[in-house]
Amino acid sequence: MDTSQIDSFLLLSALILISGVLAAKFSNRIGLPSLVLFILVGMIIGSDGFGVIYFNDPSQAQMVGIFALVIILFEGGLQTKFSTVRSVALPSLSLATLGVLLTSGIVGAAAFLIFDITWMQALLLGAIVGSTDAAAVFAALKERNIKAKMGATLEAESGTNDPMAVFLTISFIEIILIPETSIFSLFPSFIWQMGMGLIIGVLIGKFSSIAINRIKLDSSGLYPIFSVAFALLAYGAASMIGASGFLAVYVAALVIGNSELTYRYSIFQFNEGFAWMAQIFMFILLGLLVFPAELFTWNVMFGGFLLSAVLILVARPIAVLLSTLGMGYKWNEKLFISWAGLRGAVPIILATFPIVAGVEDGEFFFNVVFFIVLTSALVQGTTISKLAKTLNLMGPKKDTPHHSIELISMGKANAEMVQFQVDSDAAIAGQKLKDVAFPQKASISAIVRNENLITPYGETEIKSGDFLYILVSSKYEKELKKALEAKR
């Protein structure tokens, strides 16, 4: 690659990122999922658009997509609280296994009736679109005030259902290419993938938390990079022994995100930005991979529309209904979970597997899956908030401070800057600072109230919604959090 090619590549990367950021900005205003706009950007600058970039390499798209999904899953797991996930662990696991299996089977049966393909090809197509997508679900729910139980169920499901989808996809590809293969002989592999993926995720998560806190790095900017390295380690270690790398990454992120971390906010903010960049590049690349002239044909559009209808209106609702039987979900909650099970990058990436493996009609399957993902994002993604309001499933407004306070040397000083938002039922709400029994060596450095910075003193009253920034010795951090989280 000569200098001019490098210059062109850098310029193009800049334009892609700028386009992606602007697309994300306008997606919120027009109520359209950002992934749709990212994909459209890729299609517009691709070969059938303005012809800026020619890209037709499914194996490279697969590699980039897997890397991006690792980053997105890691960021999503970091932001998820154990207390919320614990309450929905069983239904999420049921949706991630039985739900994917039921969805794949129903969609596969419909594909057999709609298209002129074999049963195994139809079931392969069903398996590819059987799982919800972490990137799409995390992005769709991040800025919406959905009730915590609903958000946790959908996020935990999308973070853990990849092993089943990958297992079914690879299994059906093997059966198509090697007809004497029995799918029942492949189930021990699935148990291994799930079990070892979980174990490796927990082990690496615990090791990562200890390493981040114990190893004193010279620059605070190295800690976020350190955390990403462990995300890649979790995926790589799991994949090397045939376990689920995606599950290992998500579980490791859960463990890390719920541990006490040095430079916690730097790590979280870096990974949030990195995840956005991964989403932008991944969806634009997937947009480049599809050729609109092949996508928007009568056979693909008509069949894809019918299959989308079966997936959204039949397969997913049945899967949710049966997967959550007796688990305490109300009818309105089941309806919302059914509707908010978005498809996104995972099905598109899985759709490259048949092409790379040389399965007959692989490119046709890819175009059908791509059309289904677009339909899911446009129909379901744009109506999630409206449906949540209609079903009375909106939660409290998500309030995130636009201020960041972090002590540069606190990792070396054995101190932490703790951020805490005061809920209306918190024991400290309504109290004056001088009356609050904080532990030793803990002092409130600042209070952010309604986007205003307040200098705290003894007579300052703590109000619901306040963000408290408290400097505390690492030795007393757990004691401080126990006092802050006490309820009336």
Instruction: Indicate the helix (H) or strand (E) that contains 379.
Output: helix 362-379
> Which DSSP string do the residues of 324-359 spell out, in sequence order?
TTTSS--HHHHHHHHHT----HHHHHHTHHHHHHT-
Query: At residue 475, does pLDDT exceed 80?
Result: no
Phi-psi region of 479 (alpha: psi -120 to 50; beta: other; left: phi over 0): alpha
Tell me, what's the pLDDT at 86?
A: 81
Query: Which residues contact residue 389 at a Cβ distance below 8 angstroms, ignoring those fewer than 6 apart?
Result: none
- Residue 60 banded pLDDT, cuts 50, 70, 90: confident
* Mean local confidence (pLDDT), 251-262: 89
pTM (predicted TM-score): 0.80
Order of all β-strands in the sheet with 415-421: 415-421, 467-473, 442-449, 452-454
Tell me, what's the pLDDT at 57?
A: 86
Tell me, what's the pLDDT at 404?
A: 46
State CA 75 to chain mean position distance: 7
| pLDDT tens figures, 125-166 | 999 999 888 777 877 776 567 787 888 888 889 888 888 888
| pLDDT tens figures, 65-94 | 899 989 988 998 888 877 777 888 899 999
220 residue type, one letter? S
467 residue type, one letter? F
